Amino acid sequence: MTMRTFATRCAALIGLVTMLAFAAAPAVQAQQINPTEKSVTEDMLFQQMQGDGMVSGRVSIPDEQSGGLIKPGHKGWAGTHTGTVRFLTIAAVLGAVVVLGLFYLLRGRIRVDGGMSGIRILRFTAVERFAHWLMAGSFVVLALTGLNLVLGRLLVLPWLGEAAFATLTTWGKISHNYVAWAFMLGLVMSFVVWISHNIPDKVDAEWIKQGGGLLKKGVHPPAKKFNAGQKVIFWSVTLGGAALSFTGVMLLFPGVEILGLGATQADWQLYQLIHGIVAAVLSFIIIAHVYIGSVGMEGAFDAMGSGEVDLNWAKEHHSLWVDEVEERAKTAPAGKATLPAE
């Protein structure tokens, strides 16, 4: 047998086997594969969608997150962000201005009824004022840059122009990300120095019953170092600030699980919504706080300005605290009486 005939026979054999294989194939295929019945469909996957709210599969690229094919819920986040969050933010800021404007028109500036005595007593030490202004200063930066992210596009962009607004917002973002740490430090400091004075007690109930004396002239319910209203501010700032700090830190480090807490896209969306809503509510409270601590009440700013307040102002608004201070001054050794330590 020559090589040639062997090769020819081999080829014939291979050909025959191949033909037989193909001839048998349709029967097998008809049994096993029916693309109409077994193929996945988008409708079916949408109906079967699990808690993670996505249709996903396998990708061959290294970025495993890109295996999420369709996440319809993301449009829901977008809707809440541009709907609820934006609405609440506008309502909080405008609402605060309207409420305080009306309050000013009806009540006017709250004066010291007994007039200024000229005697000043120390209300807040340098450490307390530092904590307050560290937090206050950083809050203003954070609030303005945050508001710019939510409302800047509607209010600032039209008159600043695209390029200038982009530059402003870029710097706003950078400030927001770094100034946040000063806020967190101030938050911790103020919590430490003031927590002992902010535990709710019986005096607060009476203060609230009398509306804090805010609505009527000459009414001054007794209060210790902090009245019930100020305690509300303290706890709003502490709890709200903690919520903002936590969600903010989670947003600063995308994909990093801090304390084992989720860092997926869905978690980020939740953190962002909490951050936005808490910020709106806190902005309302802080605007009211700024008002009553400055133009709203005569003599109030001194407490955080120089740290020393007029004795008559203190007697009217923090009668029990003045008693405490005077009590301590009596028992304290001579010479220190003029400088009562809060």
Partner 1 sequence: MARMKFLCDADRCIECNACVTACKNEHEVPWGINRRRVVTINDGLPGERSVSMACMHCTDAPCAAVCPTNCFYTTDDAVVLHSKDTCIGCGYCFYACPFGAPQYPKVGNFGTRGKMDKCTYCAGGPEADMTQAEYVKYGSNRLAEGKLPLCAEMCSTKSLLAGDGDIIAEIYKERVVTRGYGSGAWGWRTAYGDTITV
Residues that bind partner 1 (CB under 8 A): 32-33, 35-43, 45-46, 55-61, 63, 65-75, 77-79, 81-82, 148-150, 152-153, 157, 162-163, 165-166, 169-170, 173-174, 177-178, 252-256, 265, 268-269, 272
Closer residue to partner 1, CB minimum distance, 78 or 337: 78
Smallest distance, Å, CB 82 to partner 1? Answer: 5
Closer residue to partner 1, CB minimum distance, 79 or 211: 79
Q: Are 177 and 146 spatial neighbours (Cβ–Cβ below 8 Å)?
A: no
Closest CA to 123 of 226, 52, 49: 226
Closest CA to 96 of 278, 248, 287, 282: 287
Helix (H) or strand (E) holding 201: none
Smallest distance, Å, CB 264 to partner 1? Answer: 11
Smallest distance, Å, CB 53 to partner 1? Answer: 10
CA-CA distances (angstroms) from residue 210 to 207, 219, 236, 315?
A: 5, 8, 21, 17
Buried b / exposed e over 11-50, threshold 16 CB at 10 Å, is eeeeeeeeeeeeeeeeeeeeeeeeeeeeeeeeeeeeeeee
Closer residue to partner 1, CB minimum distance, 72 or 108: 72
Closer residue to partner 1, CB minimum distance, 138 or 190: 138
Smallest distance, Å, CB 157 to partner 1? Answer: 6
Helix (H, G, I), strand (E, B) or coil at 133: helix
Closer residue to partner 1, CB minimum distance, 90 or 297: 90
Closer residue to partner 1, CB minimum distance, 199 or 259: 259
> How many other C-beta atoms lie within 10 A of the C-beta of residue 317?
24
For residue 20, give the amino acid letter. Answer: L
Smallest distance, Å, CB 80 to partner 1? Answer: 10
Q: Are 137 and 180 spatial neighbours (Cβ–Cβ below 8 Å)?
A: no
Smallest distance, Å, CB 175 to partner 1? Answer: 11
Q: Distance between CA atoms of 91 and 284, rounded to whole angstroms?
A: 9
CA-based R_g, the chain, Å: 34
The contacts of residue 218 (CB under 8 Å, 6+ apart) are 113
Closer residue to partner 1, CB minimum distance, 92 or 110: 92
Smallest distance, Å, CB 242 to partner 1? Answer: 20
